[in-house]
Each structure stands twice: as C-alpha cells, then as structure tokens.
Structure 1
C-alpha cells in the first residue's frame, strides 16, 4: 500500500511538473527517472527518503567532474600545445579521473548504508534501462517529426 501511495505521489508530482514547466525537458526527465527508479527498485518509503539525497548528490558531483574533464579537453589546441603543457594537462586529467573514481567508491559505500546490496546492484541496470527507454522515445518522436515535415 505504501509503495502504491509513493508511486501515485510521484506520478502526481510529475503531472504538476509537466503542467508548470512545458519547456523544461530536463526537469521532466528527472521526474520520470525518479518515478522509474523508485518503481523498478521497489523502494520503500524509508529507502526512498534515504536513497534520493545520496543519489542526487552523487549525480551533481559526478556531473561537475565530468564537465571539468570535458572543459579541459575542449580547450586544447593540439597543434599549439607544448610537450611540457601536454604532460601537465595529462596529469591534471588523471587527477580528475581519480577524483571521479573516489567519488564513485564513496557513493557505493553510502548506498549500501540505505539499500540492500541487491538493490544497489540492480540500480545500474535500472538506470541503463531508463536511458534506453528515453533514447527510444526520443528516436520515435524525432523520427515522427521528420516524417511529418
């Protein structure tokens, strides 16, 4: 019963989100992702309350580190960089990747304090399934809009 209430609440807030922010696709997707993960992992109310702050913090921190690595790579003019600067940049990127790895280790440790190990293991598959569904939906919508043009 609690699970159904949680899912219904999530769907309700999703609907409100869609109605209030028609142009904010990222928020819509995030809301759908929350509902999807909550349902597929069969999170209890207590698990969900403890899980989502950990998950969201990791997502934010990981995204910031990914952006840092991307910024380092895109600012490189390979034709003009000196060997010394290239080596320094490689070292800097290695440190960023190491930071990402340590962040992931901490995330896994934190998840195991609020979820059973089986749900932690299932999380990656559920996330991948969600991404695949979103990609398929995008292809379907994008393909259909091209055909009608």
Structure 2
C-alpha cells in the first residue's frame, strides 16, 4: 500500500477518539447547564413574568462571558507556557499584559451591563440571591467533583 492510501485512514483513526471525547465533554457541559438552571430556578423562586425576562438576559450574559473567557484566555494560556515565557521579549510580554487587561476590562463591563439590565427585571434582593446562588452552585459542583474523584 502506498503512503497516500494509508495517511487518510491514519488521520481518521487518530481524530475519531478526539471527536468522541469532545462530544462527551459537550454532553457533560449541557448536563451541568441544565442542572444549574434547575438549581437557580429553585433558589430564586422567580415569578413567571420575572422568569420570562430573566432567562434570556442570563443566557445571553453567560454566552458572552464564556466567549470572552474561553476564546481570549485560551490564546493567553498558549502564550504562557514555560518555553514561550522564557523566549518572550519584553515588548511581547507588555502586549500580552495589555491584551489580558483588555479582556478583564471587557468582562467587567459585561458584568456591569448585565447587572444594570437585571435591575430592570428583578428586585435587588433577588439579584443578590442570584449571585449567592451561583457561588453556592459552583461550590456544590466542585464538592461533587472532589467526592467523585476521591472515590476512584
């Protein structure tokens, strides 16, 4: 067999496990999102009129936050590997710091606008409860992960 015939087969076989892993990860993320929505619904006790206005805001905010954090921060992490840091010039390091500051500023402004929008939909007490509930959810999720990892 020629290498031209083998190469596509090898590429397919090596990429298949990564695709399956990515699909599993996506399923887990969707499961966590559904669990979080259920948890927040229970904690916030939203009236139907509140829920109707709240959830679109919440989902839009989460999506934008995810994009900012994961798409932008991923590039930073690639640049922050040990080998890259050691070979980075001062000028490149300053540019990277500037990019990080811009992303942090964008995250801050996104959160500020989100909270401002929430004030028009929910009473302040429920917004505070939302913030607390999100932290509680993250703690609960982390605890479940630790408990599961400890059993292995």
TM-score tier (shorter): 0.7 to 0.9
Alpha-carbon distance in structure 1 between the residues aligned to 2:103 and 2:28: 29
TM-score of the aligned structures, taking structure 1 as reference length: 0.76
Residue of structure 1 equivalent to 2:98: 91
Residue of structure 2 equivalent to 1:65: 68
Structure with the largest fraction of helix: 2
How far residue 90 of structure 1 moved from its aligned partner, in angstroms, is 1.2
List runs of 5+ in structure 2 lacking aligned partners. 1-23
Alpha-carbon distance in structure 1 between the residues aligned to 2:146 and 2:135: 16
Computing the radius of gyration from Cα coordinates, the structure with the larger value is 2
List runs of 5+ in structure 1 lacking aligned partners. 1-20
Residue of structure 1 equivalent to 2:38: 35
Structure ranking higher on relative contact order (CA contacts 8 Å, 6+ apart)? 2
Following TM superposition, where does structure 1 have runs of at least 4 consecutive aligned residues deviating by more than 6 angstroms?
Answer: none
Q: Alignment RMSD, CA only?
A: 1.8
TM-score of the aligned structures, taking structure 2 as reference length: 0.74
For this pair of structures, how many residues does the alignment match? 124
How far residue 70 of structure 1 moved from its aligned partner, in angstroms, is 3.6
